[in-house]
A and B are shown apart, each in its own frame.
Chain A
Amino acid sequence: MQLLTLIKKELRQEMRSKESIVSMTVFGVTVILLFAFAFNAAPAEFQRFLPGLIWMTYLFVSILGLLRSFASEKEMDAFAALLSSPIDRGNIFLAKLISFWIFIMGTQLLTMPLFSAFLNLKLGLNLPLLSGVFILTDWSIAAIGVMISGMGLRTRMGEVLVPVLLFPLLSPVLIGATKVTAGILKSEALADFNFWVMIILTFAVIFTLVGYLTFGSISEE
């Protein structure tokens, strides 16, 4: 029940301010357009590095969103009110994770058509499988990102800490997502990239559990 209250609070704040979705979407659109005009390659050539471009774009978009993910708690120190409330701190983490997961997927829904329009991304029959990869990878990014952002909340170096810790931790997930996306776009058999799906899944499970169990300790001063 408290988890639901916290998620509703996150969504209501975002609906009111639109700070995360707007900044993430505008940034995503800018990067995609930049890629579209910077690469002067034949459409077939794009297919080789398109998966990498997609995930590089959403890495930057995610970091932008994560840097703002606790902004509403910082402004009037509402985080102190959360910590002094009789709620399980793991639920604070889960609510942030789920809401950020929704925000990043919302941003992707708004920006993915641009990859099709400008960079020749062929969604078509690949859409169901690609959606599965995006849902899973976004969860991993959100779990790792929210945990690191929570750590950064109580340190003066928070804004430096987030990208410094996030890049190495996200690398295996993003490499995996790139490999799986490439495999799907090339219509390879699932068994060929099964290993990478397992990597992303493992990171999603581990960081969700670690974040849930340790968020109390890492978020206190």
Chain B
Amino acid sequence: MLIVKNITKSFHHKRILKHVSFEIGQGEHVALLGPNGAGKTTLLKILAGIVRPLAGTAELLGEKLFTENSSHRRHLVFWGHSALFYPALTGYENISLFLALRDEKVSSDAIREHLKTFHLEGSENDPVRTYSAGMLQRLTMIKLALSSWQLGLIDEPTTGLDIEGLEFLKSLSEQWKQERKTLLFSTHDADWVRERADRILLIDQGKVAFDTREVKTIDIQAVMQGNF
């Protein structure tokens, strides 16, 4: 589904990623682990087309990434550290814009229904500048719930979520599992990895240091600390 080969990236003469290669199958939920500064966010941004790699190739569903052709980005969605919204636009307008740019036909009733489901009714006509971090995370979940994609690139999705927000995310994660949507997500939440991931990829010092599907049996905290 996703084939990544020899991705290398430097920022200001510092090598962040060094020949990172891996493959992910359809429907896999892969946890990208690693210490701060390991290059997890950079890798996700490279795959999303936000950051250009210095070297390396990648293919998503047989289509080459890192080209001027934008069609492959129809298959992926990115959820980053920042909210990725236009602050002056309302929650409803941001969702509509996101879907329009993906050329996805979703009725306004469906958008309003999701805003209600994710407990954002009453705020949908407020500029997102006025939203709290948790509300922005829920709005991002609505973006992902309403759009059709095959690969979700998600950077620390549980950050800033309250208990209710976490429940929404768990429910979405289960839905995506049933729909065989593929996820590559970074997190520092060991419990989330244990419950939700099929596989762990550990990035350390810019390289894939550890790759396992034995998620239920290994000591995830130890892996996160580099003991594997």
Contact = CB atoms under 8 A, between A and B. Distances in A.
A82 B52 contact: no
A93 B82 CA distance: 22
A80 B136 CA distance: 16
B89 to A, nearest CB: 6
A67 B73 CA distance: 29
Contacts of B88: 13, 16-17, 72
A113 B120 CA distance: 47
A85 B77 CA distance: 8
Contacts of B100: 2, 5
B70 A89 contact: yes
Contacts of B17: none
B96 to A, nearest CB: 9
B127 A78 contact: no
B49 A220 contact: yes
Please classify how large the interface on chain B is, using the bins under 10, 10 to 19, 20 to 34, 35 or more. 35 or more
Given A12-B93, A16-B127, A84-B73, A76 B85 contact: yes
B82 A80 contact: yes
B84 A78 contact: yes
A110 interface: no
Nearest to B129: A75
Nearest to B51: A221
Interface in A50-101: 72-73, 75-78, 80-89
A220 B51 contact: yes
B185 interface: no
Given A84-B49, A86-B102, A220-B51, A76 B73 contact: no
B45 interface: yes
Contacts of A86: 70-74, 101-103
B78 interface: yes
A84 B76 contact: yes
B50 A221 contact: yes
A81 B76 contact: no
Please classify how large the interface on chain A is, using the bins under 10, 10 to 19, 20 to 34, 35 or more. 20 to 34
B51 A81 contact: no
Interface string A6-18: 1001001100110
A17 B127 CA distance: 10
Nearest to A17: B88
B86 A84 contact: no
B86 A76 contact: yes
Interface string A198-221: 000000000000000000110011
B70 A80 contact: no
Given A13-B86, A76-B128, A85 B102 contact: yes
Contacts of A77: 80-84
Contact of B101 (A5, A17, A76, A220): A5
Question: What 6 A-B pairs have minimum CB-CB distances, sorted nearest first?
Answer: A77-B82, A81-B84, A86-B73, A86-B74, A84-B48, A84-B78
28 contacts: A2-B100, A5-B101, A6-B101, A12-B89, A13-B89, A17-B88, A72-B87, A73-B86, A75-B87, A75-B129, A76-B85, A76-B128, A76-B136, A77-B80, A77-B83, A80-B45, A80-B50, A80-B78, A83-B48, A84-B48, A85-B70, A85-B73, A86-B72, A86-B103, A87-B70, A87-B73, A88-B70, A221-B51
Given A13-B88, A76-B82, 11 more contacts: A2-B100, A9-B86, A13-B86, A77-B84, A84-B49, A85-B98, A86-B71, A86-B73, A217-B52, A220-B51, A220-B52
Interface of A: 1-2, 5-6, 9, 12-13, 16-17, 72-73, 75-78, 80-89, 216-217, 220-221
